[in-house]
Structure 1
Amino acid sequence: MDITIRPVTPEEYATLGEITAQAYLDDGLLDFGESDQYLDELRNVAKRAARADVLVAVAEGQVLGGVTFVPAGGPMADIAREGEAEIRMLAVSPKARGRGVGEALVRACLERARTVEGCARVVLSTQRSMHAAHRIYGRLGFTRTPERDWNPLPDLLDLTLITYELTL
């Protein structure tokens, strides 16, 4: 399969938003199901694209997945510090899993990070149960950074996100 990674177009926002939301729902990553507020964020690709770089993986005219790349601590950064870029909301359509789409998206983010002046590292947060993503990060050389693990909703849930980094 020939996968192309490129910036998302406005015509693809709804498709990528649904792929992202469904990936999180199908994998049981949202604690409140369809009523989860984060689901709205996952579906709102237009908002992300206005504040960060949103990339899609496309093959044979079909959007297979996407990722949000936040260069140098941009407005969508959760954990990135000075000199770091962040990867967020990596999602692959269920029908495209196991075909290298997720890895291609992460590699594209690493390539972008290398072009960002002053960027020395790429960081990301993930849930403990995202085992397929963890395997991708390990294959590409990311290492765990438990000292940076964090909870985005400390008043509501025990949801500790685990973190990884890759020094460029």
Structure 2
Amino acid sequence: MADYEIRPPRGDEFAALGELTVEAYQLGGLLEDVSYEDELRDVSRRAEHTELLAAVDVSGRLLGSVAVVRPGTKYAEISRPGELEFRMLAVASAAQGRGIGEALTRAVLGRARELGAGRVVLCSLDRMRIAHRLYERIGFHRLPERDWQPFPNTTLIAYGYDL
């Protein structure tokens, strides 16, 4: 039995989730752009346009989070009608190796089933090899036709999971 739960975060947890997300991206060497750091930190804004999920341990400590994104909304990047997308998956450094990233990803899959989506999609920096292994282990497959470059020298690769 897990010693944490996956649930929507409370508003008073947004600031801490923002810092957790920035820290996770910094530790992964994924932050080169300060403007993206600001976006990662702004959980209040993200909560207005996405459905947030947080992993929280029994003592109330935040362990990770993810944004669930519907197609055609502000945070959607590659999703199409009938799909659900997720973004900004982050796990606190102190919680690495506990299955938090997998639990959050599986919670997204569960939410997609509840909403009747046919597929869950995501895009990930091409150098995020650990995340790619996680997605592939769960059953995601590559969608190379949806790979894209939001900026020069920044390639995002796409994955999908058919429900």
TM-score range, shorter chain: over 0.9
Tell me what 1:19 maps to.
20
Deviation at 1:71, TM superposition (A): 2.7
Whether the 8 Å contact between 1:128 and 1:162 is mirrored in structure 2 is yes
Tell me what 1:112 maps to.
111
Question: Please, what TM-score do these two structures have when normalized by structure 1?
Answer: 0.92
Farther off after superposition, 69-78 or 50-59 = 69-78
Tell me what 1:76 maps to.
75
Question: Please, what TM-score do these two structures have when normalized by structure 2?
Answer: 0.94
Q: Which runs of 5+ in 2 are unaligned?
A: none
Whether the 8 Å contact between 1:14 and 1:45 is mirrored in structure 2 is yes
Tell me what 1:165 maps to.
160
Deviation at 1:88, TM superposition (A): 0.2
Deviation at 1:102, TM superposition (A): 0.4
Give SS of 2:139's match: coil
Deviation at 1:61, TM superposition (A): 1.1
Tell me what 1:2 maps to.
3
1:1-168 alignment to 2 at 5 Å?
A: 1-32=2-33, 36-59=34-57, 60-117=59-116, 119-153=117-151, 157-168=152-163
Higher strand share: 2
Percent of aligned pairs sharing the same letter? 50
How big is the alpha-carbon RMSD for the aligned residues of Structure 1 and Structure 2? 1.1
Deviation at 1:74, TM superposition (A): 2.8
User: Hey, what's the Cα distance between the residues in 2 that align with 1:131 and 1:16?
Assistant: 23
User: Hey, what's the Cα distance between the residues in 1 that align with 2:14 and 2:150?
Assistant: 25
Deviation at 1:129, TM superposition (A): 1.9
Give SS of 1:61's match: coil
Please list the CA deviations of residues 88-114 of structure 1 after superposition, one character each: whole Å capped at 9, or x if unmatched: 000000110110000000000000000
Counterpart of 1:47, as a letter, is: R
Give SS of 2:68's match: strand
Deviation at 1:30, TM superposition (A): 1.6
Seen in structure 2, the aligned counterparts of structure 1 residues 70 and 136 have a Cα distance that, compared at 3 Å, is: same
Deviation at 1:141, TM superposition (A): 0.5
Deviant stretches of 4+, over 3 Å: none
Seen in structure 2, the aligned counterparts of structure 1 residues 136 and 73 have a Cα distance that, compared at 3 Å, is: farther
User: Hey, what's the Cα distance between the residues in 1 that align with 2:127 and 2:92?
Assistant: 17
Counterpart of 2:143, as a letter, is: T
Q: Which runs of 5+ in 1 are unaligned?
A: none
User: Hey, what's the Cα distance between the residues in 1 that align with 2:120 and 2:156?
Assistant: 16
